């Protein structure tokens, strides 16, 4: 009974909002990092195979892609650590400790720590908004390309000539304007859209975008929970079960 009673008290005082936010954060970051990494690799292969034969045309793009991949590695490590710290802070600011070890008074250091987490999470959310916006850009580019392919596959739905329907990587800044050929048109573009590489890369970017959105929601949840917990600690001087 002692063990069961202890577990029951822990569950009563568990920070469910922080638990949900942590799970959502880990899921979102894993989806964003894993799918984003593979989608960038697929984009590199598509550019090399279909849009440019000169390595100098996409050398800078490859450096950017590799930079983003290193950023993904760091993001995964950072969020795993920071999410764990936020979850621990959520447990600290609940009534679980008070119920198990008796009534307690939070210290000035504890309040300062909670305030620090609120501030860091707020800044991190602003930064992640930019990451979320950037993750929408490749989805937009691939969606436009896919839409063009649908117009080529169904010529009766468009008044333009099939030969004039193109996907120009230079237009999006992916390749420099002097890159050759830089664009693919007509039936050649349709054949690219039908490849497994294009389809997989497109869906991976969508999944990475969803992962970024899930991470953003988790950060907003962390902000709400941490702010509420800090307010209770400061104004009432005790833990909360949020």
**pLDDT (average), residues 83-87:** 87
* pLDDT for position 53: 83
Mean pLDDT score, 68-84: 92
Mean pLDDT, the chain, whole residue set? 84
Query: Is 29 domain-assigned?
Result: yes
Residue 102 lies in a domain: no
Residue 130 falls within a domain, yes or no?
yes
Residue 83 lies in a domain: yes
| 178-195 pLDDT tens trace | 888 889 999 999 999 999
Confirm whether 241 is domain-assigned: no
Q: How many domains does the chain have?
A: 1
163, exposed or middle or buried, with CB in 10 Å at 0-12, 13-18, 19+? exposed
> Does residue 200 form part of some domain?
yes
Top-confidence range, 73-77, 87-91, 212-216: 212-216
> Does residue 242 lie within any of the structural domains?
no
Task: Give the structural domain span for 220.
Answer: 20-94+108-232
Q: Is residue 193 one of the residues assigned to a domain?
A: yes
β 183-185/166-168 pair status: antiparallel
Residue by residue, DSSP assigns 39-56 as: HHHHHHHHIIIIIBS-HH
Report DSSP state, residue 170: T
């Amino acid at each position: 009974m002692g063990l069961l009673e202890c577990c029951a008290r822990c569950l009563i005082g568990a920070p469910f909002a922080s638990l949900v936010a942590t799970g959502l954060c880990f899921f979102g970051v894993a989806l964003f990092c894993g799918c984003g990494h593979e989608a960038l690799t697929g984009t590199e292969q598509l550019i090399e195979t279909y849009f440019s034969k000169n390595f100098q045309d996409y050398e800078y793009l490859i450096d950017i892609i590799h930079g983003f991949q290193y950023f993904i590695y760091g993001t995964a490590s950072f969020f795993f650590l920071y999410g764990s710290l936020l979850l621990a802070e959520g447990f600290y600011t609940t009534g679980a400790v008070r119920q198990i070890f008796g009534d307690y008074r939070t210290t000035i250091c504890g309040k300062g720590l909670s305030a620090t987490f609120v501030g860091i999470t707020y800044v991190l959310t602003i930064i992640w908004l930019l990451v979320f916006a950037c993750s929408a850009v490749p989805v937009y580019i691939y969606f436009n390309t896919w839409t063009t392919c649908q117009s080529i596959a169904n010529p009766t739905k468009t008044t333009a000539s099939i030969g004039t329907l193109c996907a120009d990587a230079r237009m999006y800044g992916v390749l420099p304007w002097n890159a050759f050929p830089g664009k693919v048109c007509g039936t050649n573009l349709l054949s690219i859209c039908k490849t497994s590489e294009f389809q997989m890369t497109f869906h991976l970017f969508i999944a990475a975008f969803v992962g970024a959105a899930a991470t953003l929601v988790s950060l907003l949840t962390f902000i709400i929970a941490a702010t509420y917990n800090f307010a209770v600690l400061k104004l009432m001087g005790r833990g909360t079960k949020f």
